[in-house]
Structure 1
Amino acid sequence: MSTLYDITIIGGGPVGMFAAFYAGMRQASTKIIESLPILGGQPHILYPEKMIYDVGGYASITGAELTDQLIQQMNHFNPTICLEEKVLMIEKEADQFKLTTTKGTHYSKTVIIATGQGSFKPRRLPFNYPEVFEQTNLHYIVRNLEQYRDKKVAICGGGDSAVDWALALEGVASEVSLIHRRNQFRAHEGAVQQLEQSSVQLLTPYIPKQLHSSDNRQIDQLTLSKKRSNDTLTIDIDYLIINYGFVSAMDEVSDWGIQLDNRGILVDRAMTTTVPGMFAIGDVAHYDEKIKLIAVGFGEAPTAINHAMSYIDPTSHKQPIQSTELYL
């Protein structure tokens, strides 16, 4: 049988990583199981270069920087990390849990679920196109602004992300075109005002109609169709960024034997689910008056860890020593 861990955390986003750090402070053997190929969750995947302003202690920090800081913090205790592994089933067996994943079986005394808003995937364009484009110059996420330097970039979308990236790329790309199916953008008023005063080419009300490729590997041109008209427009592009948002789902959680509703996994004040020994923290957890913020999840993590340690050993203290008393 594989190693029995004290705590297994499902989800390697900010809250899951902070929970792993705190579990290390409690000297718990800890494992993280993450379905994606990298740690960091939505801040790292969806907005690695966008600023986050509501994390305590940072005037501003990007999603990538926050991820790096959390990894450094967590690595004081070197938890076991399992990437690209999706949890399919959780079964209670006597005084332990059996976790069946896409890669094998894990055993743990307690389980902490920190899966955020669940698995997510980008909304694609509303017509078929070769998936190879997604490996070359059709992107759903901006990971590195420098990749677009001196290039012609087209962005599809009308919300905050699309407008923010258009403005961020204005001083990097040679040309930025923002394509939206309506004349009005749904982004924050200040950003829209800044957009209207920028050099970004606004193509409204247009929708993408066809992708053109000379080598069947990457996109050379994009044809747009004007709404309520037969007019079309074809533009040359080096990169196409689709900002139609992401679809999230918690389908797998419903198979884990815990109670949930359309707002998330139901937990009590100890962050305990309806199954003793299983806890939930972060956006996936729900209780009355819940506020979904990273900062709130950071506060829920120590609560869950301390009660998990008390579940393992009822004689342990729920209120541990302060980190300032430890040498890391």
Structure 2
Amino acid sequence: MSARHETDLVIVGAGPTGLFATYYAGFRGLRVTVVDSLPELGGQITAMYPEKQIFDVAGFPRVKGRDLVAGLVEQAGAAEPTYLLDRAAVHLAAREDGLGLTLADGTVVDASAMLITAGIGTFHPRPLPAAEGWVGRGVEFFVPSFVPYAGKDVVIVGGGDSACDWALHLEPIAASVTLVHRRNAFRAHQRTVAQVRASTVRILTDAEVVELRGRTTVEEAELKVEGRALVVPAQAVVAALGFVADLGPLQSWGLETSRRHVVVDQAMRTSRPRVFAAGDITDYPGKVRLIAVGFGEAATAINNLAPVIDPAAHVFPGHSSEG
């Protein structure tokens, strides 16, 4: 027999936005259940970027991803939430005065309202053709820990924020870092690119990885740089080419979507009654995808869904520093 769980608010996604929303829902006096397909709290930061420095959260000149998550988890604990982890949200059905959310293991969560904070769905790394057969043998798509790269010659492929950030983080501990980008211009933040250019990282533009060679693991990479062949030592290759987002089961929930995102209004309401969204998954005119923005959207969503759950509640409850 499938387990059933009753709550006021079910939050789908246990990343930074979902964790802050959990705290704020508790501040509004709501019972909260948090669902995530990953086995640990923290979403993509925990899974992919725990050692990465984050610079755009108010109050922190810089903070490691894992430290930010730890603080958010502690803060969310004030709400005494129920966490249902390592199980995906699969099916959403309307109930009388509420919603029924079925999880992959058969658990059904009955809630008065839902807040979706699930990043932008399931991520599939963009492939690096030359890496076929080498994944796990020296080739990775993200860097959850810097320790395995100590003393190694590292080739990072990509031109976005992650590629440049990892190049900077690995420079002090790797034997060498080579950044390979197929274009001359980088997509990363201008300040980050400037820091990479000022470092000892070897930057190769108009370049691509043609072949990886080695015995049991990668030992060297053959590149094509401005049309010419170049072989460099490489005991580790990071294919930071970005990810293709897939909304997965959310696409069947009757929500209006745009470019793999969920459309919301100024109150963070989706096109479906009782369903709200906040964070990277949302889309509206002028949307800026920053963690700090997600925190604000979470507070907006919680304050607007509170009267949906309890008609006697007000949208604005007063400041959390009061009382």
TM-score by length of 2: 0.87
Q: Equivalences for 1:75-114 in 2 at 5 Å?
A: 75-106=77-108, 107-114=110-117
Q: Which runs of 5+ in 1 are unaligned?
A: none
Is the 1:45–1:141 Cα contact (8 Å) retained in structure 2? Answer: no
- Aligned-pair RMSD on alpha carbons? 2.6
Partners of 1:8 and 1:313 lie apart in 2 by: 15
Aligned to 1:146: 147
Partners of 1:65 and 1:285 lie apart in 2 by: 25
Aligned to 1:50: 52
Q: Does 1:310 align with 2:312?
A: no
Aligned to 1:272: 269
Q: Does 1:125 align with 2:125?
A: no
Q: 1:305 to 1:204 in 2, by over 3 A?
A: closer
Aligned to 1:298: 295
Is the 2:127–2:241 Cα contact (8 Å) retained in structure 1? Answer: yes
- Which string of whole-angstrom CA distances, capped at 9 and with x for unpartnered residues, describes residues 128-154 of structure 1? 623xx4445322222222332222211
Q: Equivalences for 1:144-293 in 2 at 5 Å?
A: 144-183=145-184, 185-215=186-216, 218-226=217-225, 228-229=227-228, 231=229, 233-262=230-259, 264-293=261-290
Which amino acid is 1:270 matched to?
A
What SS does the corresponding residue of 1:181 show, helix, strand or coil? coil
- Which string of whole-angstrom CA distances, capped at 9 and with x for unpartnered residues, describes residues 190-247 of structure 1? 54444444332334443222233423xx323323344535x3x433322111111121
User: Identity of aligned pairs, percent?
Assistant: 38
Q: Which runs of 5+ in 2 are unaligned?
A: none
Please state how far the C-alpha of 1:115 moved relative to its aligned partner: 1.8
Is the 1:98–1:105 Cα contact (8 Å) retained in structure 2? Answer: no
Which amino acid is 2:125 matched to?
P
Which amino acid is 2:80 matched to?
N
Please state how far the C-alpha of 1:15 moved relative to its aligned partner: 0.9
Q: 1:240 to 1:310 in 2, by over 3 A?
A: same
Which amino acid is 2:239 matched to?
I
What SS does the corresponding residue of 1:271 show, helix, strand or coil? coil
TM-score by length of 1: 0.85
Is the 1:263–1:286 Cα contact (8 Å) retained in structure 2? Answer: no
Number of residue pairs the alignment of both structures matches: 320
